[in-house]
């Protein structure tokens, strides 16, 4: 199993897009690799998708915030340093195809390289599966668990999922404990999140809250998530 795919929680239908997202420009410059497309065009697209999703999430979550506060909060989520932390956590640095010279000079841990790779990955997910899985990735990995500099709030996967569902007219998601196992002093919990009464994702954690967060993060990556929302009666 590809560790990167495990980390992002998304399976590509067209794996060429994933390959392109992982291809640094220096790799295409090396002799014999000129036929490979770099991730720069995907980076351009992913940058726009991230801006839109983060802007929408902040707009919906904070109706009282003025434009300036929304802008500052968005900047804290989409800055190169913030995106680089996401890339490092996902293991993008070691997953990149990169030229030998760039690798020798520390390219795999360079902030700008990691940030660009995250944007390219979002662009690839968007082209492969559409807006919903791209939105799910952004909410789960870029917004979730990051402290907003201006408000001190956390937008965790549970909050992000609830806001997304309710923004589309659905009832709040519910969580069901499926089982717990392991020693009594260190149990592992398995939880399912339900959207419209239907299973949307499962997660495990060393606490019920952690398991619920993991389940919500999995649900956010579903391309058909919004189809689970029940239609309002006429």
Catalytic residue ranges: 47, 119
Which of 120, 93, 128 has its CA nearest to residue 11? 128
> 189: which strand partners?
180, 205
Handedness of CA 103, 108, 114, 118 (dihedral sign): positive
Beta strand extents in the chain (DSSP E only): 174-181, 188-195, 198-205
Is 31 strand, coil or helix?
A: coil
Handedness of CA 138, 41, 26, 13 (dihedral sign): positive
Lookup result for tokens 């609830």: 162
**H or E stretch at 20:** helix 15-21
Length of the chain: 234
CA distances from 112 to 39, 108, 117 (A): 13, 10, 9
CA distances from 127 to 42, 68, 89, 123, 214 (A): 9, 31, 23, 6, 25
């Amino acid at each position: 199993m590809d560790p990167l795919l495990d980390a992002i929680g998304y399976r590509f239908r067209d794996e060429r897009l994933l390959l392109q997202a992982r291809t640094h420009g220096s790799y295409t410059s090396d002799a014999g690799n000129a036929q490979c497309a770099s991730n720069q065009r995907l980076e351009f697209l992913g940058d726009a998708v991230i801006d839109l999703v983060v802007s929408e999430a902040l707009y919906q979550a904070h109706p009282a915030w003025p434009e300036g506060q929304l802008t500052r909060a968005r900047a804290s989520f989409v800055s190169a340093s913030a995106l680089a932390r996401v890339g490092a956590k996902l293991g993008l640095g070691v997953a990149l195809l990169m030229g030998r010279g760039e690798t020798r000079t520390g390219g795999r841990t360079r902030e700008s390289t990691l940030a660009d790779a995250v944007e390219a990955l979002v662009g690839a997910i968007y082209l492969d599966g559409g807006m919903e899985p791209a939105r799910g990735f952004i909410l789960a990995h870029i917004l979730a668990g990051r402290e907003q500099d201006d408000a001190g709030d956390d937008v965790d996967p549970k909050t992000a999922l609830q806001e997304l569902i309710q923004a589309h007219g659905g009832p709040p998601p519910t969580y069901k404990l499926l089982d717990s196992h392991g020693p009594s002093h260190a149990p592992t919990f398995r939880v399912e999140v339900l959207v419209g009464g239907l299973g949307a994702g499962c997660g495990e954690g060393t606490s019920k809250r952690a398991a619920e967060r993991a389940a919500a993060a999995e649900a956010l990556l579903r391309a058909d998530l919004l189809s689970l929302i029940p239609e309002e009666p006429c």
